[in-house]
Structure 1
Amino acid sequence: MKKLFSIFFIAIFAFASAQDNESKETANRFFYELTFKPKKDSAKLDKVMAALDIVKDRSVYRDFTAVGQDSILKVQFEAMQKAGVFKDLSKSFKMPKFSEKIVKHYPDMKLQYVERIASGFSPMSIAYTDTPKFEWKISNDKAKIGEYNTQKATTEFGGRKWIAWFTTDLPFQDGPYKFSGLPGLIVKIEDEGKNYSWVLQGNKKVPNWDELTYMEKLSNLSLKVTEMPREKFEKTFNDFKKDPFASARPMMTQAIMSQTIPGMDGTVGDMMKKQEKMYKDFFSANDNPIEITVQTTDKKKK
């Protein structure tokens, strides 16, 4: 899903210094081009670059758009802080098309699926944990994909049938999104209907890797992850999609709504209308989830 808080929204309500502690971890970053159908009944395809970062004890999968712009954002925000001037950066940067972050923990591959919603005027992360069990059927079919020698495997997951090609040249039993469990890294995976197709495009080492982006540090998202059973997660996220500002609206007096925003054209009310339209337009334009059916090993919590 598209990143649920525009850059200028965070700038106003979380204008603070991010702590920049240099990490000593080095990550293997794998870039996947994701081609997908936003609408299940449409022939239109869209594309985005995603990244799978693998470190010693875990991997992190996410849309690369935000990560790729992180250093530019840092420079812009630090300049704003130094000058003490607010600026609308929302038109300067491209918004991610997917906001979920999936962290797989080694060796059991227990994953945490994280999404962002609003809690009043603050960004909030909600998450569920799961350990998907993929029943892979490995065939003798082999193919050269890019520079890698790969082998075919199939599985069923989330109500779709998937065809994967993995390589033992890269000794990571991992892959994009939630996929894992093959004897090597997944180079390509797509469902039979070609609604979603990931293809490995390249990789590099990332020294001083940090799981959190500058924006996440700035908005303290790392401190606001609320774990819940998947059923409650789905309901909470669906409620947010129906009414993105439900939690903020009770706080909005007429005086607040009419306040102007430093460095921007318009009032708080104008900003809310713009944000709400963006969310609703996006959600109505995307009705083709990766997982048609929910499969989970979560223990129900009451």
Structure 2
Amino acid sequence: MKKLFSIFFITLFAFASAQDNDSKETANRFFYELTFKPKKDSVKTEKVMTVLDIVKDRSVYRDYTMIGQDSIMKVQIEAMQKAGTFKDLSKSIRMPKFSEKIVKHYPDMKLQYIERISSGFTPAGIAYSETAKFDWKILNDKAKIGAYNAQKATVDFGGKKWVAWFTTELPFQDGPYKFSGLPGLIVKIEDEGKNYSWVLQGNRKVPNWEELSYAEKISNMNLKVTEMPREKFEKTFTEFKKDPFATVRPMMNQEMLSKTIPGMDGTIGDMLKKQEKMYKDFFNSNDNPIEPPYEKLKVGKVEKVGKEKD
């Protein structure tokens, strides 16, 4: 049963990366609705809620889907453990759209881009680091974005031109994804082709904030991340996406694969095939990334210019 839970958690929580940080702090949580085009050759868009949690020495950006279901997960997992039966939570839990987590460290804005892969029955974190510096052009244009007075800025990043609106009413030089460095919080940012568009929807204080969710804590994951150069990171993650259970499969003999567990439809082997399909469907659902592989952020300083010309 314990091994079965391990397989399930590998599948579910590879989408919810984490770090080893149990200290309780108060966080400023900013909710950004992300509208994006998952396919290059389609105009169809999807939406997902993402969050930027800002604490004293860093910020953490990620898909909010798993965090938002924490209480549901707690009830269902505790019921499974008590009953000694397995339930396929993928039937009742919404899966995220994005698996990465981005941690920006203050004040130097060195960021970690983190993904989670499996190492046998243990999820393992891999990461690359870079310094987040953007050559922003701050314009004179002003607008009301939601509840905030905002000012326009532009930047080239990831092969795209981005238009951002920031507000000094929220004194954080941060924003969604990797974006940062403006004299206030970014309340809206999108590329000119509207492939990705984040809009701030609200914010609240989170007392006793912890970076780990309930489900992440009980999954006994190895929470340390292995730092590597970006090129090696992308190669490692690409190999994982091609065969998510490459390190698990050799540990599963035929006898184990043919077993059934109370409360589970089919055998463990059937479940593995289903989870593998879930992985591949997830990774194949988006061929229109925010930035291309090996794209380097341009290093520059914030520049004030006049109103942008048409």
- TM-superposed CA distance for 1:162, in Å, is 0.7
Does residue 287 of structure 2 align to residue 290 of structure 1? no
Does residue 23 of structure 2 align to residue 10 of structure 1? no
CA separation of 1:172/1:216 partners in 2, compared to 1, >3 Å: closer, same or farther? same
Match of 1:18 in 2: none
- TM-superposed CA distance for 1:281, in Å, is 2.3
Match of 1:183 in 2: 183
The TM-score normalised by the length of structure 1 is 0.88
Q: What amino acid sits opposite 1:289 in the alignment? A: P
- TM-superposed CA distance for 1:23, in Å, is 5.2
Counterpart-to-counterpart distance in 2, 1:83 and 1:43:
46
- TM-superposed CA distance for 1:196, in Å, is 0.3
5+ residue gaps, structure 2, are 14-20, 298-310
Counterpart-to-counterpart distance in 2, 1:79 and 1:186:
41
Match of 1:167 in 2: 167
Task: Give the conservation status (yes or no) of the 8 Å contact 1:260–1:267.
Answer: yes
Does residue 73 of structure 2 align to residue 73 of structure 1? yes
Task: Give the conservation status (yes or no) of the 8 Å contact 1:158–1:294.
Answer: no
Equivalences for residues 133-282 of structure 1 within 5 A: 133-221=133-221, 223-282=223-282
- TM-superposed CA distance for 1:282, in Å, is 2.6
- TM-superposed CA distance for 1:24, in Å, is 3.8
Once the two structures are aligned, what percentage of the paired residues are identical? 77
Counterpart-to-counterpart distance in 2, 1:265 and 1:66:
24
Task: Give the conservation status (yes or no) of the 8 Å contact 1:23–1:210.
Answer: yes
Match of 1:92 in 2: 92
The TM-score normalised by the length of structure 2 is 0.86
Other structure's SS at 1:261 match: coil
Task: Give the conservation status (yes or no) of the 8 Å contact 1:173–1:184.
Answer: yes
The count of aligned residue pairs is 286
Task: Give the conservation status (yes or no) of the 8 Å contact 1:160–1:292.
Answer: no
Counterpart-to-counterpart distance in 1, 2:288 and 2:50:
18
Match of 1:55 in 2: 55
Compare 45-54 and 66-75 and name the one that shifted more: 66-75
5+ residue gaps, structure 1, are 1-5, 15-20, 298-302
Equivalences for residues 106-117 of structure 1 within 5 A: 106-117=106-117
CA deviation vs aligned residue, 1:79-125 (integer Å, no higher than 9, x gap): 33334333322211101111111111100111111111122232222
Q: RMSD value over aligned CA atoms?
A: 2.3
Match of 2:300 in 1: none
CA separation of 1:296/1:172 partners in 2, compared to 1, >3 Å: closer, same or farther? same
CA separation of 1:185/1:96 partners in 2, compared to 1, >3 Å: closer, same or farther? same
Other structure's SS at 1:166 match: strand
Counterpart-to-counterpart distance in 2, 1:199 and 1:187:
6
Counterpart-to-counterpart distance in 1, 2:292 and 2:222:
29
CA separation of 1:261/1:296 partners in 2, compared to 1, >3 Å: closer, same or farther? farther
